[in-house]
Amino acid sequence: MAVAIIVSLAASLGAGEAAAKAWTLENIHIRDPFILPVDEEKRYYLFGTHASHAVDFPVYWSMDLKTWEGPVIAFEKHEGFWGDREFWAPEVHRHRGRFFMFASFNAPGRRRATQILVADNPQGPYRVHGDGPVTPPDWDCLDGTLFIGEDKQPWIVFCHEWTQTRDGEICARKLSPDLSKAEGDPILLFRASAAPWVVEVGFGGPRKGFVTDGPFLHRTKEGALLMLWSSFSQKGYVQSYAYSESGHLSGPWVQQKIPWFDEDAGHGMLFRCFDGRQMLVLHRPNGGGRERAHLFEIGESPHELISTPFRF
């Protein structure tokens, strides 16, 4: 209840005015967590989905990953914006000195899609970038993320949803250099069923399918290209990853034989602390209004990630 109160208060204050409250991650209800370190501020910014029915995105910030301030509202539903529901999975990437938010939205008569937003500082306020979504208008899509290739070509990597394909896909599409529009047709990277541990789910409805969720790209120190992504196994919601056999976005992508985390946790991403440590943040558990961001310190081998619980 305290989280709902403070989020409502922050919304009434508007962007740039934080509610006077200090938080720990145990106190912040959030799904799909994304942490952006900003070097010159020595500050971390936490974005995510704070409620399934929400029509705004709060942002919190911290100097040490332990104590968090905020929230302020980085973006919210407003007149003239096409999306009016399912404000999900915001993540913010720094590109050419600006901050770009990739987030999922939906509306009556539209397909769920990823829209890119832009701001001049990490707290926002964010505004619409380009003429509309950068995922195909006739596809059900979500969880777009930014990938910059070795040739400096930007891509959006996203999920083509199981609700439309049955076997959920992870696809990629070129973006213009300024990220304002998509260029060319999407390419298929892999389907959910490529992972041997994935099972069909239906969420209580008549349809069932294989889910793809939360892609995030990571280049290791040795140069391997990994992709974090989530789905469902016999144990429930899980976090896994794949690696590109060629080292390029086009793959082919090799899946883990078993999930990385199989304890009702997922939609993770990696970031590097100011002291050089590499970190994973994901949400756990995956429902019931109990979702929280959890941190792990990460080690690497050429095609493997090794996690240990983070100790402050």
3-state secondary structure the chain: CHHHHHHHHHHHHCCCCCCCCEECHHHCCCEEEEEEEEHHHCEEEEEEECCCCCCEEEEEEECCCCCEEEEEEEEECCCCCCCCEEEEEEEEEEECCEEEEEEEEECCCCCCEEEEEEECCCCCCCEECCCCCCCCCCCCEEEEEEEECCCCCEEEEEEECHHHHCECEEEEEEECCCCCCEEEEEEEEEEHHHCCCCCCECCCCCCCEECCEEEEEEECCCCCEEEEEEEEECCEEEEEEEEECCCCCCCCEEECCCCCECCCCEEEEEEECCCCCEEEEEEECCCCCCCEEEEEEEEEECCEEEEEECCC
Which pLDDT value is given to residue 202? 86
Q: Which domains does the chain possess?
A: 86-309 (2.115.10.20)
Which pLDDT value is given to residue 203? 81
The tens digit of pLDDT for each residue in 146-176 reads 999 999 999 999 999 999 999 999 999 999 9
Residues of the chain with pLDDT under 70: 1-20
Which pLDDT value is given to residue 18? 44
Mean confidence (pLDDT) of the chain: 92
Which pLDDT value is given to residue 20? 47
Which pLDDT value is given to residue 5? 31
Which pLDDT value is given to residue 219? 96
